[in-house]
Amino acid sequence: MPEQPGKNAIEVRGVRKVFGSGEAAVAALDTVSVSIRENEFFTLLGPSGCGKTTLLRLIAGFDYPSAGEILLYGDDIALLPPFKRPVNTVFQSYALFPHMTVAQNIGFGLEMLRKPKAEVKARVAEMLKLVRMEHLASRRTSQISGGQQQRVALARALAPQPKVLLLDEPLSALDYKLRKEMQIELKRLQNQTGITFIFVTHDQEEALTMSDRIAVMSSGKILQVGSPWDIYDKPADRFVADFIGETNFLTASIAGVENGKARATLKSGATITASVADGFQPKAEATVVVRPEHAKLTKGKAELSGTVENIVYFGTDTHIHVRLDGSNDLFIVRQQNARSAGCGFEAGDKAGIAIGDDAAQVLRD
Amino acid sequence: MATAEEIARAADRRDIRNRWYLSAPALLTIFFAAVGPLAIVLVYSFLTPGSYGDVKWQFSPEAWVSVLFERDIFDDTLSLAGAHISIFWRSVKLAIITTLITLALGFPTAYFMATRSEKTRDLWLFLITIPFWTNLLIRTFAVLQIIRNEGIVNTVLMKLGIVSAPIQILYTDVAILIGMAYVYLPLMVLPVYASMEKLDFRLVEAGYDLYASRWQVLRRIIFPLVKPGVIAGSILVFIPAIGAYVTPSVLGGGKNMMLSNLIELQFGQGRNWPLGSALSITVMLIVMVALLVYVRNAGSQEVRHG
């Protein structure tokens, strides 16, 4: 999808980052290009070591790219030192200054920008209110809880009104309940301030619930960029499909690719209509993915058939593991639970798996 | 039969007695190595000097008077002892300048070491401690060889035509400062490095991220956080520097005395042990006052910052 250059807060163009040299050289980022729009909640998602934090550090200025450009509203900032970029970071460890109070931490950036004292004071008060920490302004950072430290780190990074806010796995140190709270808090802050957020996480659920758009990364490359819906329902390749949520992989022969749709003939002989990933190169055999909740288990004949092997109860839903006839692969169907009714199947039952139109996606690899 | 209470009380008594036995070595060491000698020095400072050194057991405040005053030979009037006061002042001044020089050289050194990879840090630490293997006197004579008129510094300067006659460095305060800064540098580097090593360098990144320049990061983040090391290093350098004996006597020649040389004079040629004792205690008092002032100032600054 072509994007208008003026609307992009950050544009990363062909950025490579190599650590080490000679034989020991490791490419942490392998020619990455991505555009991040103004006011967007953009997430870099991937397992550890995929290069997401490296990309964030290049945007922040803690490291410099080996090649490529990083544009901030059209200006190349790739080689500027961090203190000359209107970009602030919320660190994974928070990195609050232990020799300063909460208020001094929040005011530090403004002070360094040589803002008048009255303005700093007013802005710090405003920030304290924004993150609901007014009552702890004069505390040392060692005297407040993890969640409160998190809020201070946010307030400190937001106080100088950066053009882009970078968040490096800021919620990973919090416990589950606090994390949920902070996710909502972050969304609220982003709406309220209108600042572009670039969020790094390895937690797919966090990425899906918070982001406007997600870039899925693996081994130094961006594999797919899209809305949470795109990423979940229309994964482009095997890694994306596998990393996010649960998926069933099937092999099929593909024919009649047209308007992003194709006819896929499964090993069982059934033919289904499936959407096709961008960048799909026509070939005889391809991988088709079906999310467990998009398939339906039936008593009669359907697109696939097999034997129920295992039934796992999850409260809201039940996962039914089916051993497919022929290929002997395992296929998982997720079925919504109704009150006081079983799932209708028992281990050992013969069952059909119905895959409706538009339930399947053909991967490009 | 003993009651339970008696048994408990006996156990308590035994316990207390055991604790005394266990701490006896430490207490004896403290008594014989620290408190005892100090008490002797204090007692001697209030006695009358003997004719051939030593003391006569006769009370006299004369030694304490002569720490600061001179008695006129003819009419016994007291006037300030200019020589003593200038030596006090020189010693304090040279010790302070030495501390500042070692800080100026040691801080960047410690920063350099702390920012190396974990593997090479030990090597740097090892290199810093190497000078300790050599005797202080030998190290001081090595400095003398370098800075004397026919030494390497002057030879090179003259060969290059930068100066036409050798610069007189030896037997000046500069020579003493060079010698003391060289000898005491590791005492500054090690504690500053210990603090610096614990510094979370992500805080430095956070500083840069929040628009602090390199200088501001140093002044507002690194320095306040390694201040305990700087304070420790300054104390470790200042105390031996104010009492330095070998360096000023070798590099300063006879006329540039520091406190220790003055004290040595009283116990040697001067044959005035009480005055020597009084001066020794004066040095301790100066150090104590200097430390109190320094630590209090350093502490209050932190409160203002934090």
The verdict on A127 and A206 lying in the same domain is yes
CB-based contact (8 Å) between B200 and chain A? yes
Same domain, B74 and B90: no
Cβ neighbours for B48, distance < 8 A, ≥ 6 positions apart: B55, B56, B58, B59, B60, B62, B274
CA B84 – CA A247 distance, rounded (Å): 90
Chains A & B: contacts with CB separation below 8 Å:
66
Residues 6+ apart with CB under 8 A from B252: B171, B172, B173, B175, B176, B258, B261
Mutate to test the interface with B, among A59, A77, A99, A161 (most CBs of B within 10 A): A99
Q: How many domains does chain A have?
A: 2
Q: Are A46 and A40 in contact (CB under 8 A)?
A: no
Buried b (16+ CB within 10 A) or exposed e, B210-224: bbbeeebbeebbbeb
**By residue range, what is the domain housing residue A294?**
246-362
What per-residue confidence (pLDDT) applies to A16?
A: 94
Tell me the chain B residues in contact with residue A83 when contact means C-beta distances shorter than 8 Å.
Answer: 208-213
Same domain, A48 and A178: yes
Residues A217 and A253 in one domain: no
The shortest C-alpha distance from A169 to chain B (Å) reads 15
Q: Give me chain B's average pLDDT, please.
A: 89
Same domain, B22 and B113: no
Question: Which of A83, A106, A169 would best serve as a mutation to test chain B binding (most B beta carbons within 10 A)?
Answer: A83
| Final residue of a structural domain among A233, A257, A272 | A233
What pLDDT shows up at residue A321? 93
- B57 vs B74, which has greater pLDDT? B57
Q: Do B212 and A112 touch (CB under 8 A)?
A: yes
User: CA–CA separation, A362 vs A250, rounded Å?
Assistant: 9
- C-beta atoms of B224 and A99 within 8 A: yes
Is residue A304 situated within a structural domain? Answer: yes
Interchain CB distance below 8 Å, B211 and A109: yes
A209 and A119 in a single domain? The answer is: yes
- The pairing of beta strand A350-355 with beta strand A295-298: antiparallel
The segments of chain A whose pLDDT lies below 70 read 1-6
Contact A91 B212 (CB under 8 A): no
Q: What is the mean pLDDT of residues B219-233?
A: 93
Instruction: Tell whether B227 and B292 lie within a shared domain.
Output: yes
The pLDDT value recorded for residue B304 is 42
B75 and B95 share one domain:
no
Domain boundary residue among A187, A203, A233? A233
Closest residue to B205, CB basis, from A62, A100, A156: A62
Asked if the C-beta of B219 comes within 8 angstroms of chain A's C-beta atoms, the answer is no
A79 and A124 fall within a common domain = yes
Of B45, B61, B79, the position where a domain reaches its end is B79
Q: What is the pTM of this model?
A: 0.80
Domain boundary at A211, A233, A255, which? A233
The pLDDT, as a whole number, for residue A333 is 92
Q: Looking at the complex, does the CB of residue B211 fall below 8 Å from at least one CB of chain A? A: yes
Least CB-CB distance to A82: which of B202, B208, B305? B208
Cα distance between residue B145 and residue A29, in whole Å: 56
What are the start-end ranges of the H helices in A196-331?
Answer: 204-210, 228-233, 238-243
Task: Give the domain-ending residue among B15, B44, B79.
Answer: B79
The verdict on A227 and A291 lying in the same domain is no
In this structure, the answer to whether residues A9 and A141 fall within a common structural domain is yes
CATH number of domain containing A332: 2.40.50.140
How many structural domains compose chain B?
Answer: 2
- A45 and A114: one domain? yes
> Which of B207, B211, B225 has the CB atom closest to A113's CB atom?
B211
Q: How far apart are CA B295 and CA A306, in angstroms?
A: 80
CA distance B260 to A278: 85
Burial class of residue B86 in the structure, from the number of CB atoms within 10 Å of its CB (0-12 exposed, 13-18 middle, 19+ buried): exposed
Q: Is A83 on the interface with B (CB under 8 A)?
A: yes
3 state DSSP class of A197: strand
Residue A331 lies in a domain: yes
Q: What is the pLDDT of residue B72?
A: 76
Measured between CA atoms, the residue of chain B closest to residue A115 is B211
Q: Which long-range contacts (CB under 8 A, 24 or more apart) does B141-150 make?
A: B141/B250, B143/B175, B143/B178, B143/B179, B143/B182, B143/B251, B144/B170, B144/B175, B144/B179, B144/B250, B144/B251, B147/B175, B147/B178, B147/B251
Distance CA A157, CA A165 (A): 7
Q: Does A193 touch chain B (CB under 8 A)?
A: no
Instruction: Answer whether residue A126 is part of any domain.
Output: yes
pLDDT at A2 (0 to 100): 46
User: Predicted ipTM?
Assistant: 0.84
Indicate if B25 and B88 belong to the same structural domain.
no
Contact residues on chain B for A95, CB-CB shorter than 8 A: 200, 202-203, 205-206
For residue A353, the 8-state DSSP code is: E
A interface mutation test: which of B202, B204, B210 has the most A CBs within 10 A?
B210
Q: What is the CATH number of the domain that holds B231?
A: 1.10.3720.10
CA distance A43 to A141: 28
Between A89, A96, A101, which is nearest B209 by CB? Answer: A89
> What does the pLDDT look like over A171-226, one tens digit per residue?
888 888 888 888 998 999 999 889 999 999 999 999 999 999 999 999 999 999 99
pLDDT for res A44: 96
**What is the tens place of the pLDDT at every residue in B73-100?**
777 777 777 888 888 999 999 999 999 9
CB contact under 8 A, A100 and B306: yes
Half-sphere exposure of B70 (CA within 13 A, CB side): 10
Examine residue A83 and state whether it is found in any structural domain, yes or no: yes
Site from B198, B203, B211 to mutate, A interface, most A CB atoms within 10 angstroms? B211
> Per the domain annotation, does A358 fall within a domain?
yes
Query: The CATH number of the domain where A211 resides is what?
Result: 3.40.50.300
Strands (E), chain A: 8-19, 26-37, 41-45, 67-72, 75-76, 87-90, 164-168, 196-201, 213-218, 221-226, 248-258, 261-266, 271-276, 285-290, 295-298, 304-313, 317-324, 330-336, 350-355, 360-362
The verdict on residue A241 lying in a domain is: no
Range of the domain at B219: 83-305
> Within this chain, do residues A219 and A263 fall inside the same structural domain, yes or no?
no
pLDDT at position B300, please?
54
Both B59 and B144 in a single domain? no
| Residues B90, B12: Cα–Cα separation, whole Å | 56
What is the reported pLDDT for B256? 75
Sign of CA dihedral A95, A98, A103, A104: negative
How close, in Å, is residue A5 to chain B by CA atoms? 26
At residue A271, the pLDDT reads: 86
Q: Are residues A161 and A46 in the same domain?
A: yes
Instruction: Report chain A residues whose CB lies below 8 A from the CB of B302.
Output: 99
- Tell me the one-letter amino acid at A236: A
Domain boundary among B79, B109, B135: B79
Contact: B210, A95; criterion CB under 8 Å: no
Nearest-by-Cβ selection for B306 from A91, A96, A99: A99
Q: Give the pair of three-digit tokens for residue A229.
A: 């819906």
**d(Cα A353, Cα A357) in Å, to the nearest integer?**
13
**What number of H helices and E strands is found in chain B?**
14, 4
Q: Are residues A229 and A304 in the same domain?
A: no
Residue B23: pLDDT over 80? yes
Question: How confident is the model at residue B306, as a pLDDT?
Answer: 36
Residue A240 belongs to some domain of the structure: no
Q: What is the pLDDT of residue A99?
A: 93
